[in-house]
């Protein structure tokens, strides 16, 4: 039996290794880029957050998030880590549950997978972009780079549109649509959100732990707590990533209400700022020791204070306003950044057209799909790669079984 796999990314490599465990199948992995795991190499800021110990069905979205339950239960984070350990990868888990390679290098993850693929029954074809798939009575004819491949079974593991510079493309969606599958609306997720607030550039690079409320026309749309990062154009970091797939959709005025001191009552902050009135410090140091210096200065100015003069000269009203702003600073939001900057694609090929216990198409027998091309997107923190390992392995094992 020959099994073709389109895409040598996270899910495709997991699928190839699982398929090769079956009874003597010949596995051919087709990758359009010059090497496998190009996106994987860039994940987690080059560290690769390869899974999350808490990755369960609750951390995923899509039209039917329940679709991923079977694959995650069959091959969850613990199983994935054991599998990686077997491939020679040492890992370390943070308190948050995020798991990284012990080397802190994403390249280590790519390397152990790359070396594991070196098996007699796995053929790797790099620089081979699949353009067309034809279903025949016996299997599939796959056209790529002027060649035609013939497979009994086929796994589409082309990934999503996110991270276009790292290989994200429409290819997988187009190939699956050509075989009759439907695709939901695609949009960027786990991405920073832009603002037209002119003060943003002064805060570029500042990180803050905060509670964030996303408001749509003044009504609370969602809220979360964690790290926020200011960028040149907007707001980033886990707090924004979580809501980025849904923010600024469907009209309305969107803004973010930020509490930079969620653990402190406003009265406590106010009392501390009033105490500083008795010091000789300049107004620019009003929040020194409490908040990031640059953030403190932006809040002080927003409260109406000139930074040059002493804190002692600030009115009680200005100090109260500064305290209030540290507990509730509103930043308008315009739109999420595009697919280029996104870590994952929200939306994808309809999961209702696949069997969640095998990842096989309900429309085309012998066809499988896995990873980001399907309409499943995970939370920030290792959830998306876990989905790639779980779904890829399930697709590979199912395709590798003679009786499927
Ligand atoms: C910058 C960045 C950082 C990220 N960090 C993390 C993180 O730390 N943790 C986490 O869990 N997730 C992270 N993600 C998300 C995660 O990388 C993806 O969800 C995951 O790689 C998806 O796996 P996949 O196999 O579906 O797709 P991919 O890994 O994208 O692989 C798809 C492969 O298919 C190939 N391909 C596509 N079309 C064709 C074709 N027609 N013919 C041949 N080959 C084709 C592509 O070249 C690619 O190599 C990050 C994403 C980005 C962009």
pLDDT tens, 139-159? 999 999 899 999 999 999 999
- Please list the residues that pair with 259 across neighbouring strands: 211
* CB-based contacts of 3, cutoff 8 Å, min separation 6: 19, 25, 26, 27, 28, 151, 152, 153, 154, 155, 396, 399, 400
What is the percentage of the chain residues whose pLDDT exceeds 90? 92
**Using CA atoms, how far apart are residues 192 and 121, in angstroms rounded to an integer?**
42
**Using CA atoms, how far apart are residues 305 and 323, in angstroms rounded to an integer?**
13
Centre of ligand 1 from the C-alpha of residue 160, in Å:
7
The pairing of beta strand 26-30 with beta strand 2-6:
parallel
DSSP collapsed to 3 states, 72-117: HHHCCHHHHHHHHHHCCCCEEECCCCEEEECCCCHHHHHHHHHHHC
Mean pLDDT of 297-316: 95
pLDDT of residue 131: 98
pLDDT tens, position by position, 360-379: 999 999 999 999 999 999 99
**Using CA atoms, how far apart are residues 334 and 312, in angstroms rounded to an integer?**
38
Q: Which residue has the tokens 């369960």?
A: 56
pLDDT tens, position by position, 71-92: 999 999 999 999 999 999 999 9
**Using CA atoms, how far apart are residues 12 and 164, in angstroms rounded to an integer?**
18
193 closest CA partner among 211, 212, 168 = 212
Mutation choice for ligand 1 from 43, 68, 97, CB with most ligand atoms inside 8 A: 43
Nearest atom of ligand 1 to the alpha carbon of 372: 26
Q: Which residues line ligand 1 (CB under 6 A)?
A: 6-12, 30-33, 38-40, 42-44, 48-49, 129-130, 157-159, 162-163, 166-167, 169, 171-172, 343-344, 371-373, 382-385, 388
Mutation choice for ligand 1 from 5, 7, 38, CB with most ligand atoms inside 8 A: 7
Centre of ligand 1 from the C-alpha of residue 13, in Å:
11
What is the percentage of the chain residues whose pLDDT exceeds 70? 100
Please state, as a whole number, how many other Cβ atoms lie within 10 Å of the Cβ of residue 45: 8
CATH architecture assignment, domain 2-187+341-400: 3-Layer(bba) Sandwich (3.50)
Distances in Å between the Cα of 89 and the Cα atoms of 40, 63, 99, 286 are 15, 34, 12, 48
Q: pTM for the complete prediction? A: 0.92
Nearest atom of ligand 1 to the alpha carbon of 36: 49
Question: Would you say residue 404 has pLDDT above 50?
Answer: no
The separation between CA 43 and the C-alpha centre of its own chain, rounded to angstroms, equals 9
Please state, as a whole number, how many other Cβ atoms lie within 10 Å of the Cβ of residue 306: 13
pLDDT band at 332 (very low <50, low <70, confident <90, very high): very high
pLDDT tens, position by position, 282-298: 999 999 999 999 999 99
User: Hey, whose CA ends up nearest to atom 51 of ligand 1?
Assistant: 343
Domain ranges of the chain: 2-187+341-400, 193-333
Conformational region of residue 368, where left means phi above 0, alpha means psi within -120 to 50, and beta covers everything else: beta
Mutation choice for ligand 1 from 39, 41, 170, CB with most ligand atoms inside 8 A: 39
Question: Would you say residue 182 has pLDDT above 60?
Answer: yes
Nearest atom of ligand 1 to the alpha carbon of 172: 38
Cα atoms in the 13 Å half-sphere on the side-chain side of 358? 18
């Amino acid at each position: 039996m020959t099994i073709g796999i389109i895409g040598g990314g996270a899910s495709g490599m997991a699928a190839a290794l699982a398929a090769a465990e079956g009874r003597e199948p010949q596995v051919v992995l087709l990758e359009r880029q010059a090497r496998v795991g190009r996106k994987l190499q860039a994940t987690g800021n080059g560290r690769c957050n390869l899974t999350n110990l808490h990755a369960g069905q609750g951390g995923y979205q899509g039209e039917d998030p329940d679709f991923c339950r079977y694959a995650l239960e069959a091959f969850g984070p613990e199983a994935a880590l054991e599998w990686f350990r077997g491939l020679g990868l040492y890992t370390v888990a943070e308190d948050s549950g995020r798991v990284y390679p012990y080397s802190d290098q994403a390249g280590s993850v790519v390397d152990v997978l790359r070396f594991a693929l070196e098996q007699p029954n796995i053929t790797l074809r790099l620089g081979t972009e699949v353009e067309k798939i034809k279903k025949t009575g016996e299997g599939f004819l796959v056209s790529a780079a002027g060649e035609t491949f013939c497979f009994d079974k086929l796994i589409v593991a082309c990934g999503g549109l996110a991270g276009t510079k790292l290989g994200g493309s429409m290819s997988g969606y187009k190939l699956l649509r050509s075989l009759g599958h439907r695709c939901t609306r695609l949009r960027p997720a786990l991405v920073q959100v832009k603002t037209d607030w002119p003060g943003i550039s002064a805060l570029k690079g500042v990180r803050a732990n905060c509670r964030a409320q996303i408001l749509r026309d003044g009504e609370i749309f969602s809220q979360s707590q964690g790290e926020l990062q200011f960028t040149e154009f907007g707001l980033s970091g886990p707090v924004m990533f979580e809501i980025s797939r849904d923010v600024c959709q469907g009209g309305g005025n969107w803004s973010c209400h930020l509490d930079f001191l969620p653990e402190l009552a406003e009265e406590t902050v106010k009392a501390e700022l009033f105490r500083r009135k008795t010091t000789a410090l300049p107004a620019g140091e009003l929040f020194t020791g409490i908040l990031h210096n640059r953030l403190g200065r932006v809040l002080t100015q927003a409260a109406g204070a000139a930074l040059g003069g002493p804190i002692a000269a600030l009115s009680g009203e200005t100090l109260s306003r500064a305290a209030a702003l540290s507990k509730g600073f509103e930043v308008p939001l315009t739109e999420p950044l595009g697919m280029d900057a996104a870590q994952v694609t929200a939306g994808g090929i309809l999961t209702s057209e696949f069997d969640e216990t095998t990842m096989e198409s309900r429309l085309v027998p012998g066809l499988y799909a896995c990873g980001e091309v399907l309409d499943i997107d995970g939370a920030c923190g290792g959830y998306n790669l876990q989905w790639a390992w779980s779904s890829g392995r399930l697709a590979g094992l199912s395709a590798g079984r003679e009786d499927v």
